[in-house]
Structure 1
Amino acid sequence: MIKHIDSMLKLWAEDLHSAAPEGTGGGNMIAMLMETKGELIRGTRGSRVLLDESADIELIVNKHLPPQLSVVVREHYCNHDSFLSQKYMHCGCSRDTYYQRLHQAHECIAELLLGKKAA
């Protein structure tokens, strides 16, 4: 895994995919933007990832990662209720394959984020 990408994905999951108290958009990017009248502000939960960077990661995970990598990313970072063995089963792969896919996802995300910053 790529340590920096791992940290970013943990914060992305916290910003956009965790249960939130009333009045903070419930983790939904659209609801948060509506509440802040379209202003991108720092995450409401003390996040170190700016909301626009979280939105970039959300777009990458939803639209640019191959489905098998996207599923692994969502299971690993957003599903806190399942045991690891349940996550492997949901992804339809072994433990080794799960971590190989997670590393591939980290590489893809890093490349796409770097490409966006270079553009």
Structure 2
Amino acid sequence: MIRYIDEALQLWAAELHPPHGVERIGPGAGGCSLAALIDSRGVLIRSTRGSRVLLEQAAEIELLVNRHLPDKERQVVIEHYTNYDSRDAQKWAACGCSRPQYYRRLQQAHESLERELINRKRAA
């Protein structure tokens, strides 16, 4: 796995796909930005976990995962990073593949996301 892509995906999942029963905090949490400012007494909290990935970057990762990854790679990424309750063997079974194939797809997804991020930076 590509370490910084792994970290970005972990933070993406924590920010935009938290475990059940945990509310998202801050802009994009389904609430009003003004309400978030009032709740935090005028301090805009961009992340509750001290992440290096800001909410805008998490939204960019969301876009890349949903629009640029092939279906099988997207399924593995979503299963790997947002399924907080299943064991590894259950994740492999949910994706319909063996352990080695699961991790090959995850590696391919990391490489695809890295390429897309590089291309976006070049275009900017």
Q: For residue 13 of structure 2, what is the amino acid of its counterpart?
A: A
> How many residues align structurally?
112
Normalized per residue, the structure richer in helix is 1
The 3-state SS of whatever aligns with 1:44 is coil
TM-score for the superposition, normalised by structure 2: 0.81
In structure 2, the CA distance between the partners of 1:41 and 1:52, relative to structure 1 (3 Å rule), is: farther
TM-aligned CA deviation for residue 30 of structure 1: 5.8
In structure 2, the CA distance between the partners of 1:15 and 1:112, relative to structure 1 (3 Å rule), is: same
Partner of 2:11: 11
In structure 2, the CA distance between the partners of 1:103 and 1:46, relative to structure 1 (3 Å rule), is: same
Q: What residue ranges of structure 2 are gaps of 5+ in the alignment? A: 35-43
TM-score for the superposition, normalised by structure 1: 0.84
TM-aligned CA deviation for residue 61 of structure 1: 0.7
Q: What residue ranges of structure 1 are gaps of 5+ in the alignment? A: none
Q: For residue 106 of structure 2, what is the amino acid of its counterpart?
A: L
TM-aligned CA deviation for residue 48 of structure 1: 1.7
Rounded Cα–Cα distance in structure 2 between residues aligned with 1:50 and 1:35: 18
Which entry has the higher C-alpha Rg, 1 or 2?
Answer: 2
Partner of 2:119: 115
Rounded Cα–Cα distance in structure 1 between residues aligned with 2:76 and 2:8: 16
The 3-state SS of whatever aligns with 2:51 is coil
TM-aligned CA deviation for residue 63 of structure 1: 1.1
